A and B are shown apart, each in its own frame.
Chain A
Amino acid sequence: MELKRGSSSHSAYHLRPALKEGEERRTLAVLVDNESGVLARVIGLFSGRGYNIESLTVAETDHTGHRSRITVVTTGTPMVLDQIKAQLERMIPVHRVRDLTVEGPSVERELALVKVANAGDLRVEALRIRDAFRAQVVDASLESFVFELTGSPEKIDAFVDLMRPLGLVDVSRTGVAAISRGPGEM
């Protein structure tokens, strides 16, 4: 598996590329009705208007109210970012849009499953780094491990980089989930 340093910039989500002049990165939380096609609507807005998606996660968070929460990490100039928020807010199934980057402190986490195949000293070294990163072993065979790691995207980037010389085979990442700090709801 060929992954360069800052591997995530080569992932399907095109994560964390260097920001262009005047651009900022924002994490938006979008609360939507979990109706058919709502994700296609949101993604269509981004692709149709040429906005960037660095990371996107979605799942139903309120099963009785049929609400889903979409966390999207995007980049753009402040004018474009305001436009993204306004465009999201005017979609019919969208209840609320929060800019977690701007509206007070927030926590961002991503989960990764990382597979390494190795033997001997490499296997020992992989386990040692796993300890340092507090990753879990969720699958093991005599030739391989699958590690589960939760943290910021940068922490996962660092872990994946360290696993590369140790027999990295496969990486699966969830994208960023984020929530505001403190007692307030979305």
Chain B
Amino acid sequence: MTTTPKSSTMTGAEIVIKSLIDQGVEVVFGYPGGAVLPIYDELFKQNQIKHILVRHEQGATHAAEGYARSTGKPGVVLVTSGPGATNAVTGLQDALMDSIPLVCLTGQVPTFMIGNDAFQEADTIGITRPCTKHNWLVKDTDELAETMHEAFYVATSGRPGPVLIDIPKDVQFADGTYQPPRNFKPKAYQPKLKGDTADIQAAVELMEGAKKPLFYTGGGVINSGPHASTLLRDLVEATGFPITSTLMGLGAYPASGDKWLGMLGMHGTYEANWAMHDCDVMVCVGARFDDRITGRLDAFAPNSKKIHIDIDPSSINKNVRADVPIVGDVGHVLEDMIRIFRARGAKTEKTAVAKWWDQIDEWRGGKCLDFLNSETLIKPQYAVQRLADAMVKHGDYYVTTEVGQHQMWAAQYIPFDAPNRWMTSGGLGTMGYGCPAAVGVQVAHPDSLVVDVAGEASFMMTMQEMSTAIQYGLPIKIFILNNERLGMVRQWQQLLHGERYSSSYSEALPDFVKMAEAFGCVGLRCDKPGDLDGAIDEMINVDKPVIFDCLVEKHENCFPMIPSGKAHNEMLLSSSVSADNIGDAIKSDGAVLV
């Protein structure tokens, strides 16, 4: 500790604000309550940090995630003790699963009351220990500044994630010494950024000899920063290899690029999944072989050598054994990889790879995302396509989603040509993510078009954040594919549970147009394919929050689909499933899996 002048003595609440300012924080998403009042008092007295008052603490966490995901900066959440903290838990776990940097500050009852079952007391540290990357209870104001700076370091370095600081109310009132952020590095936690050169060399050698190569990329590319996406594009161009991505990695390689195969996984494209199954060298960049991606593990890419680049050593060899594991930051590793690849003469098996592309083009020719359109009913896929076209025409768009069928259609049909433009709850699959996330994205990008592609059921979980959007003049667009069903649940019940639709339809839905008006938003409804383009244009052009109630075909299923427990080459396509055989499309042994 350095000796500090008396002038840097301040209250705990002042230290919190000063630390946030010194960390470059511009926006805090929060909700006040008894145990954080001293901090709110300090927020009131300053103008550097903007506070966004949400309507539920879960909304604060998702808004902070949207902010973080769309800017690359950490999102900051401020909530009170007890229910404030427990309401934030879903968002923390969501951020943990998707590696989103969040710093969550929670108030706590005064230190002398901890453990007494005091009013609004909860064991926040105990509750959030498994759903944060790390958390701290600060019992001494003198330790507050250092803890704040350490929290930002831990949240943003290595594999990013949520952290939480629990601050008892007496610590907020007490005087302590402020320490500015120094070049802070905890001794025990030093993530490795540079990959091992010998490993990268071995990877390049595998790639040089590959006859059926494939890049399989994920959210790690986006977390590594825009530079990593640029490097990925360079490497794809330099090698001429095809590329697919997980849900979390969309936009790292442009959807308009000619090497792009579309998303892979449970609802990925036919060409991406077949390429995964048949490839001989798989280059996994910042993805984690999640069960939505691999399908049946013992049949996963059976004839491939796997190169796995990940900053988190525990992601390597967790589900799938890597032949060449490379621990390091995607940006750093890709830079070395390109350098070594070029230094060795940029060699590839050109003839074999050209043959591989012929095969891929044949798969592409199946046009797996085609669907039977209707002239009278709006097909949800058609609605998303029309929305995508309008957004592309408008330019500068960000998309968030809720969770379910609409999320997969959005991933399939909306093209992203840049990273940080697509915000969705991948790992945790949190219904209710999209609306508050859109709030956070719009706060960060006030002049851009921000659309939440939603389902009516997900939206109803956190729709009170429309009130936040109105309060802060955030013209977010909620584009609801309203099928009056929990569409994905209904689809699984149809395929796996003998068409017994247990609690998967939405009764007593509100009139979303009237609800929009009640919030002070603009409400639009559309139920005819012919009216869709005009209505979407109206939604985009109005400078207010909009709830767009798009009434779609109620029983549409989301295809392609790899049923749980199946391999990539056992995919169901919309053309192969008819009304007669749909109940038998999946064997019951897959039903035990989620």
Contacts and interface: CB of A to CB of B under 8 A. Distances in A.
B318 interface: yes
A74 to B, nearest CB: 15
Contacts of B129: 37, 40-41, 44
A184 interface: no
Nearest to A96: B188
B313 interface: yes
A141 interface: no
B188 A95 contact: yes
A37 B188 CA distance: 16
Given A37-B125, A83-B314, A87-B314, A92 B321 contact: no
A79 B126 CA distance: 29
A90 B314 contact: yes
A121 B317 CA distance: 59
Interface string A21-64: 00000000000110011001100100010000000000000000
Contacts of B313: 86, 89-90
A90 B96 CA distance: 14
A32 B129 CA distance: 16
B112 interface: no
B157 to A, nearest CB: 11
B137 interface: yes
Given A83-B317, A90-B312, A33 B125 contact: no
Task: Tell which of A36, A44, A48, A83 has the most Cβ of chain B within 10 Å.
Answer: A83
Nearest to B313: A86
Given A36-B137, A83-B318, A92 B186 contact: yes
A94 interface: yes
A44 B317 contact: no
A40 B126 contact: yes
Given A40-B129, A41-B129, A92 B134 contact: yes
A48 B314 contact: no
A93 interface: yes
Given A37-B129, A86-B313, A87-B314, A95 B137 contact: no
B188 A94 contact: yes
B275 interface: no
B24 interface: no
A82 interface: yes
B18 interface: no
A44 B130 contact: yes
Given A44-B129, A79-B321, A82-B317, A95 B187 contact: yes
Nearest to B137: A36
A5 to B, nearest CB: 37
A96 to B, nearest CB: 8
A79 B317 contact: yes
A37 B124 CA distance: 12
B314 A92 contact: no
Interface string B128-150: 01100110010000000000000
A41 B134 CA distance: 9
Given A36-B137, A37-B129, A40-B129, A93 B188 contact: yes
A48 B317 CA distance: 19
A29 B316 CA distance: 22
B154 interface: yes
Interface in B300-355: 312-314, 316-318, 321
Nearest to A82: B317
A157 to B, nearest CB: 34
B85 to A, nearest CB: 16
A92 B137 contact: no
Contacts of A37: 125, 129, 137
A59 B177 CA distance: 31
Contacts of A87: 314
A44 B186 CA distance: 22
Contacts of A82: 317
A91 B316 CA distance: 16
Contact of A92 (B125, B189, B318): B189
Nearest to B125: A37
B314 A86 contact: yes
A83 B137 CA distance: 28
Interface of B: 125-126, 129-130, 133-134, 137, 154, 158-159, 186-189, 312-314, 316-318, 321
30 contacts: A33-B188, A36-B137, A37-B125, A37-B129, A37-B137, A40-B126, A40-B129, A41-B129, A44-B130, A48-B130, A79-B317, A79-B321, A82-B317, A83-B314, A86-B313, A86-B316, A86-B317, A89-B314, A90-B158, A90-B312, A90-B314, A92-B134, A92-B154, A92-B186, A92-B188, A93-B134, A93-B188, A94-B188, A95-B187, A95-B188
Given A37-B137, A92-B134, 16 more contacts: A40-B129, A41-B129, A44-B129, A79-B317, A79-B321, A83-B314, A83-B317, A86-B316, A86-B317, A89-B313, A89-B314, A90-B158, A90-B159, A92-B154, A92-B189, A93-B188
